[in-house]
Structure 1
Amino acid sequence: MIEFIGYFAAIFIGISLGLIGGGGSILTVPVLVYLFHIEPVVATAYSLFVVGLTSSVGAFSYFKQGLVKMKMALVFGIPSIFSVFLTRNYLVPAIPNEILNVGDFVLTKGIFLMALFAVLMILASYKMIKSGSKKKETTPIQKIDSEPKAFNYPMVIIQGLIVGLITGLVGAGGGFIIIPALVFLLGLKMKEAIGTSLTIITLNSFFGFLVSQNQMQTDWKLLLILSTMSIIGIFVGMALSKRIDGAKLKPLFGWFVLIMGSYILMKELFF
């Protein structure tokens, strides 16, 4: 029964990606940890595969429409991939299994990663909820679309390194950071930013998963089933997006992510 719920959740992950252009991948690690009882460090690696494969479907769809800017993907992606490599190869293995002991509470590597992931969910939810503001959504982006933008490459490289760190640590794509960076720092239009972001997420996720292969035994059956369900979901989401305004649903999904992130944080640290 729990596994059935997990597979349904994987479909929901894909639907959210197809319908609102992001957010769903941030649920992958909680699904793996709480519904399939995968150890958190392994779950972050598994998440990279599911997120990478699902994002590649969306990226290919945007590429066919000419909405993927490969130059920008490389400018952002190269430092991001470098950061993923360092994080998965050196930083994650260097984190001790027991980080801190305070009375009866033991901060383990697994608890630390899940708490960090919960904080990331809360930050992402804030971005989603705030995107519901019409003022936020129209004024800055319209200005960028109508005026030439000087590329801020140093900031893009820094953002790429940060996204790589997040991807490597917690297995999330980091689209809530990538898309604003592509829009405000590189001047891409929103649809171009989404397509390019999916391409960057695909590259980061697959690279991170490959780097992690020498550190674990992979349950390919589970990964392929979850990825298939998620891909089915993204096609459903893209079909629904023609009838439903995903932008209106994004704040609602943001509140759901906020509740989930808060629950995970409380569960890992206090229960």
Structure 2
Amino acid sequence: MDIMQILGYLGALLIGVVLGLIGGGGSILTVPVLVYLLFINPVTATAYSLFVVGVSSLVGALQNIKKKLVDFKTAIVFAIPAFIAVYTTRKYLVPAIPDEIFTIGSFLVTKDIAIMVFFAIIMLLASISMIRGKCAHCNDENAKVVYNYPLIIIEGLVVGVLTGIVGAGGGFLIIPALVIMAKLPMKKAVATSLLIIAIKSLIGFIGDVENLDIDWSFLLKFTALSVIGIFVGIYLNKFIKGEKLKKAFGWFVLIMGIYIILKETVL
């Protein structure tokens, strides 16, 4: 095992730790770890990411169900359009993207470059959401839950398509949507988002099983390390303030997003 593989497996552990600590954001690291440390091509990496994110989020969601933090009604309304969109995107849209998309001068934009740049843009949006992170009623545990069904369904479809293309969980999009559109308090929004992420990521991955050769031995090892990381993160959560950590992680994701754009287009 070389140094890059060791770093890749440590990255798997870190993904879980971040998920356990701040309830989201870890999945944004999965694709860069798989692509840049373990040299897996971006299309396969986004598929593997869906499985890792799905299983890791399911573990977190089960913990939250025990604590009665999950709002099942909101989860179902959001998850149904989301998993239809993510499955359709993985099964039909991603395979339909041509290997060579267009040329700018002498620079050829390939499918792999396009996916990584699009992923980096999503990272930049996620980082801004994590750095800013202000909300008036987020911590009001007694706030009345309001169901704006059309908006929740539209948001579910949008998040499903984005998840399908980049392989990230989309928690940074789901949590604000649940807080703003369903008026869920932050703790419930984070808990409910993990269940939604788990359902749509695993169903999206099913769309890949028919299109790709899956290295199950590697994928299960990588996922197991992420799950161990979640329990480490949940334990550390008792000692570290999640909100401060979220901002610091947001800055890290911002730098990573800029690095990926530069690496794929300039370097």
**TM-score bracket, shorter-length normalisation:** over 0.9
User: TM-score w.r.t. structure 1 length?
Assistant: 0.95
Mapped pair 1:229 → 2:219: no
- Per-residue CA deviation, residues 203-246 of structure 1 (Å, 9 max, x unaligned), is 01100111111111111111111111111111010000011111
Aligned position for 2:73: 71
For the Cα contact (< 8 Å) 1:73–1:196, is it kept in 2? Answer: yes
SS at match of 1:188: coil
Sequence identity, in percent?
Answer: 54
Aligned position for 2:49: 47
Alignment partners' CA distance in 2, 1:74 and 1:166: 19
SS at match of 1:151: coil
Spell out the pairing of 1:29-178 with structure 2 (5 A cutoff): 29-131=31-133, 136-137=134-135, 139-142=136-139, 145-178=141-174
Higher helix share: 1
Alignment equivalent of 1:13, drawn from 12, 15, 32: 15
| CA drift at 1:147 | 4.5
Alignment partners' CA distance in 1, 2:92 and 2:174: 24
SS at match of 1:215: coil
Query: Quick one: which amino acid aligns to residue 149 of structure 2?
Result: Y
Unmatched segments (≥5 aa) in structure 2: none
Aligned alpha-carbon RMSD (Å): 1.2
Unmatched segments (≥5 aa) in structure 1: none
Mapped pair 1:203 → 2:205: no
SS at match of 2:174: helix
Alignment partners' CA distance in 2, 1:85 and 1:23: 22
Number of residues of Structure 1 aligned to a counterpart in Structure 2: 265
User: TM-score w.r.t. structure 2 length?
Assistant: 0.96
For the Cα contact (< 8 Å) 1:145–1:187, is it kept in 2? Answer: no
Mapped pair 1:219 → 2:221: no
Q: Using the TM superposition, name which of 163-172 and 186-195 deviates more.
A: 186-195
